[in-house]
Chains A and B, each alone.
Chain A
């Protein structure tokens, strides 16, 4: 069974974001880039499916500039068999729909039985891509999945997502798109052998023309980014206990409107 995992390279969660001079982009200096954590769940799940079935191929794919190669190498080090890098200036300002079109084109070429993604990327938190991809391909899709089991024949996949008080279970015919929620698994750390092996695995550069796409303009563009306002300083309520409690309750009710 062939599985395609779509991953995105994002700034490390510990990064302090700074706005670029143009007010529309993030200043990339000093950013450590990582594979988006939800996408790591997707990679891990793909590898587990392959290992459980004892055969198959896991292909990691990502769209982005040159630096994205490093993220794809990490996926190869984890155990993916090969990687596809959608790397073309034409995709420089790609919105989710353009990215979905590019991925759909790759999916058509590669013809996997399953596409796995993270439930959203942790940079812009759009979470739109998997649905758009499903729509473009006309494939069933299930989101925020906590459990997954592909049937023995590789014809359907049973997935479960958390809902209030329990799990909601679906059966999807394959091919399908499934997005990973935290809790699906615990991603492995690449081994040293995995890292060494990654160097020898295929990491293919793909341009828009290679997948039959013409240049298009994004329909979504960022007009402005705003930094979060600095957090107001905390307040320490003075006085003896009964007065302080009274003041705390008043302040929570009237100033903060929290209760």
Chain B
């Protein structure tokens, strides 16, 4: 067993940390207040070639694994960028996975180089108003007409849609068969045609800089060449990006927790109340120590799941567990950080307030804590399915 990063992974960690830290906390505060997309940050990562991390070298990327992508996202978050910084970058890290694994040579050639350079901005269209947790219920339909599909329907929580040039879209191509609810779904990688897709932004708790939207698709035409993998097997292709998504968002939550913890520890050393630094009180110190221990544990789980995925091994239980523990640990760390700051924790100026709002997301999305526990109950423990 070897827990050490390779020399290259260590260098990636260090360089991403210094690039991400060149965007100070006030940059993110400003973006959050103005609800402006962090283009400067995304461009800096595009220029450094980081967006092509998992795109194979043959298509202009670096061909690295989920482990390296996880290291990148962890450092972005640990630098204080939060979900506002991680989301725009992670769209380059897991949505392309089904294209890489199942896309035709033609599809890969047409799209992956643009993903690697960051010219393509992606959104991920799965969730619908009537199908969140139960993806088999999606109602967006794609009907074949000659050499193209015509899509009609509605998606919700479509992140990035305001900027997206392309979308990874899941739609029904055959009616839902209760015996095989996940069959008959097809995955498309398609240009985001604004003549056929209307976008309506959702006001939300955190990450104002990066939009999430309701989108209305009306007669969107997609050529058959833009089908990812096989018609009718889209859900199964998508699975290849769901485990990486859980690992990557999990480790983002860990990174956010670390950024909050770093601020809290600093504050606990400096804030004098009753003639002593508040960190001298164990009631302040122990929750910080516990938060550190839980972040450390969750990070290990994320990296183990990444290691399994990169080795081509099954990693469903581990990826789900990683996301479960990481969302808890990240949230607790941010909560403790706010508490440590007392009243100032509630003020925007001290930054933990933003991290606290942002980190809440990870207990809900990309998969809820309850659904992770359902998965573990059923698939790991062999308990009967409850729903």
Contacts and interface: CB of A to CB of B under 8 A. Distances in A.
Contacts of A190: 11, 15, 48
Interface string A60-80: 000000000110011001000
Nearest to B68: A192
Interface in A148-206: 189-196, 198-199
Contacts of A193: 49, 62
A69 B11 CA distance: 11
A70 B48 contact: no
A196 B7 contact: no
A70 B49 contact: no
B49 A191 contact: yes
Contact of A189 (B7, B8, B15): B15
A102 B224 CA distance: 66
A75 to B, nearest CB: 11
Given A192-B12, A192-B62, A193-B62, A199 B50 contact: no
Contacts of B50: 191-192
A-side interface size class? 10 to 19
B8 A192 contact: no
Contact of A192 (B7, B22, B49): B49
A70 B8 contact: no
Contacts of A196: 8, 62, 64
Contacts of A199: 7-8
Nearest to A199: B8
B55 to A, nearest CB: 11
Nearest to B45: A192
B48 A73 contact: no
Contacts of B15: 74, 77, 189-190, 195
Interface residues of B, number: 19
B48 A191 contact: yes
B10 A192 contact: no
A192 B63 CA distance: 11
B47 interface: yes
Q: Count chain A CB atoms within 10 A of each CB in B8, B22, B47 and give the residue with the most.
A: B8
Contacts of A77: 11, 15
Contacts of B47: 191
A33 to B, nearest CB: 10
Contacts of B35: none
A195 B49 CA distance: 10
B14 interface: yes
Given A191-B47, A192-B62, A195-B15, A70 B52 contact: no
B24 to A, nearest CB: 14
Contacts of B7: 69-70, 73, 199
Interface in B37-84: 44, 47-50, 52-53, 62, 64
A109 B50 CA distance: 38
A74 B49 contact: no
A74 B17 CA distance: 13
A192 B52 contact: yes
Contacts of A198: 8, 11
A189 B52 contact: no
A189 B48 contact: yes
A190 B8 CA distance: 12
Q: Count chain B CB atoms within 10 A of each CB in A69, A73, A77, A192 and give the residue with the most.
A: A192
B284 interface: no
A43 B93 CA distance: 31
B19 A73 contact: no
B370 interface: no
B18 interface: yes
Nearest to B19: A189
A194 B47 CA distance: 12
Interface of B: 7-8, 10-12, 14-15, 18-19, 22, 44, 47-50, 52-53, 62, 64
23 contacts: A69-B7, A70-B11, A73-B7, A74-B15, A77-B15, A189-B15, A189-B44, A190-B11, A190-B15, A190-B48, A191-B48, A191-B49, A192-B12, A192-B52, A192-B64, A193-B49, A195-B8, A195-B12, A196-B64, A198-B8, A198-B11, A199-B7, A199-B8
Question: Which 6 pairs show the lowest CB-CB distances between chains A and B?
Answer: A192-B49, A191-B49, A191-B48, A193-B49, A189-B19, A195-B11
Given A189-B15, A191-B48, 7 more contacts: A70-B7, A73-B11, A189-B22, A189-B48, A190-B48, A191-B47, A192-B49
